[in-house]
């Protein structure tokens, strides 16, 4: 039963997110816009590049969607409303998101096009830049909860949300999440400015529709992870728990989508330098500070 509810909410959430993205990018609100765009994509010819690696070309978008769905499986929307409450939930989320990298390499390598290939390998090059800043803040969150279970992590924030308890971890996690979902200003794997669409460049028709849907699911999964780890999950007064989850997740996703409008795209070398030198040091400091707080004043 939980699976059906979560999947239906996911579909609805992806649609709302598409509306918000259109609003953030094009500046006008259209409730039916994404539906027409999806229909148009489904009706369009799905081109296949010459001498492509067909297997990877077809599997890339599908693996991306599967990775997103797997990540969603461990995000609790309300007490009891979770697909599977694993004892290693936070680690599992990481494992699922690691396959975003594999999917993008496949999608980049598959079509036998220079722009796509550079974009795919570039995402791998950025690996330390986002993956470490996802894993290390989660470590600090798990330290406070004394558990890797996402339900326990939400419960541990009953007194004080983690965004106040470990603000540095929150900031690092959100930036890394935007890098992982390749959202502007960190949208380097599809870099419209220089790589003409990057991994998306050679995809058309139904394959592009799957790729875009998968990306929406990943954005939702990461927004859900941010809410679960830092914004108290379903916790909140007056409204029912699922209501709080929905509001928080959509708000975080909308904020992530809007940032790109107000910031210039960051250069790849600068993003890498900042992540390696500053990001990892701050993430380690965050683990240390949280450890000290947890030992001295347990809240």
Partner 1 sequence: MTVQMIFLAFFGGAALWFGVVVFRTHSMVRSALALLFSQTAIGAMFLVMQAEFLGVLQIMMMATEMSVMAIFMVMFMMDPGGMGKMDMTHQKRLSLWAGGIGLLAALLLVWLPDWGPVALSVPGAHEQAADLGRELLGRSMFIFQSAGLTILTAMIAATMVAIVPNAEQRK
Chain residues that interact with partner 1, rule: CB under 8 A: 51, 53, 55-56, 86-88, 91-92, 94-95, 98-99, 101-102, 105-106, 109, 112, 121, 124-125, 127, 131, 147-149
Backbone torsions φ then ψ of 263, nearest 5 degrees: -130, 145
Q: Helix/strand/coil (H, E, C) string of 162-175? A: HHHHCHHHHHHHHH
Shortest CB 38 distance to partner 1, Å: 29
Would you say 101 or 254 has its CB closer to partner 1?
Answer: 101
Rounded to an integer, what is the distance from CA 82 to the centroid of its chain? 18
Quick check: 151 and 81 in contact, CB under 8 A? no
Would you say 74 or 254 has its CB closer to partner 1?
Answer: 74
Cis peptide before 195 (omega within 30 of 0): no
Shortest CB 161 distance to partner 1, Å: 24
Q: Other CB atoms closer than 10 Å to residue 134's CB: what's the count?
A: 22
Would you say 78 or 138 has its CB closer to partner 1?
Answer: 138
Shortest CB 106 distance to partner 1, Å: 7
Two structure tokens written together for 32: 């039916």
Would you say 3 or 95 has its CB closer to partner 1?
Answer: 95
Shortest CB 72 distance to partner 1, Å: 16
Task: Report helix, strand or coil for 259.
Answer: helix
Would you say 149 or 275 has its CB closer to partner 1?
Answer: 149
Shortest CB 95 distance to partner 1, Å: 3
Shortest CB 118 distance to partner 1, Å: 12
The C-alpha atoms of residue 60 and residue 110 are separated, in whole angstroms, by: 8
| Orientation of helix 205-230 relative to helix 54-72, angle to 10° | 30
Two structure tokens written together for 243: 């209501």
Strand partners, 81: 78
Would you say 53 or 58 has its CB closer to partner 1?
Answer: 53
Would you say 9 or 156 has its CB closer to partner 1?
Answer: 156
Shortest CB 75 distance to partner 1, Å: 16
Position of tokens 């461990």?
A: 74
Shortest CB 124 distance to partner 1, Å: 6
Nearest CA to 295 out of 146, 151, 88 is that of 146
The C-alpha atoms of residue 219 and residue 94 are separated, in whole angstroms, by: 14
> What is residue 5's DSSP assignment?
H
Position of tokens 């809240």?
A: 299
Would you say 13 or 110 has its CB closer to partner 1?
Answer: 110
DSSP string, 61-101: HHHHHHHHHHHHTT--SBTTB-S---TTHHHHHHHHHHHHH
């Amino acid at each position: 039963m939980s699976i059906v509810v979560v999947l239906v909410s996911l579909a609805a959430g992806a649609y709302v997110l598409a509306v918000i993205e259109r609003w953030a990018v094009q500046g006008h609100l259209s409730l039916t816009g994404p539906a027409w765009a999806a229909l148009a994509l489904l009706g369009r010819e799905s081109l296949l590049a010459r001498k492509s690696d067909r297997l990877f070309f077809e599997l890339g978008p599908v693996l991306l969607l599967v990775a997103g769905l797997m990540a969603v499986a461990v995000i609790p929307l309300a007490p009891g409303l979770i697909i599977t409450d694993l004892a290693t939930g936070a680690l599992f989320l990481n494992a699922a998101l690691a396959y975003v990298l594999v999917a993008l390499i496949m999608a980049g390598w598959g079509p036998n096009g220079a722009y796509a290939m550079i974009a795919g390998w570039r995402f791998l090059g950025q690996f330390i830049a986002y993956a470490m800043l996802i894993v290390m803040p989660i470590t600090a969150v798990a330290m406070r909860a004394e558990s890797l279970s996402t339900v326990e992590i939400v419960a541990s924030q009953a007194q004080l949300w983690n965004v106040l308890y470990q603000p540095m971890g929150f900031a690092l996690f959100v930036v890394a999440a935007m890098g992982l979902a390749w959202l502007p200003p960190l949208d380097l794997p599809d870099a419209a400015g220089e790589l003409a669409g990057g991994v998306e460049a050679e995809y058309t028709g139904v394959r592009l529709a799957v790729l875009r849907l998968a990306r929406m699911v990943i954005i939702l999964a990461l927004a859900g992870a941010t809410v679960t780890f830092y914004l108290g999950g379903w916790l909140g007064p007056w409204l029912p728990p699922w209501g709080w989850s929905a509001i928080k997740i959509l708000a975080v996703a909308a904020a992530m989508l809007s940032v790109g409008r107000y910031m210039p795209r960051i250069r790849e070398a600068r993003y890498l330098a900042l992540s390696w030198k500053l990001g990892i040091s701050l993430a380690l400091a965050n683990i240390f500070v949280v450890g000290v707080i947890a030992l001295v004043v347990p809240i």
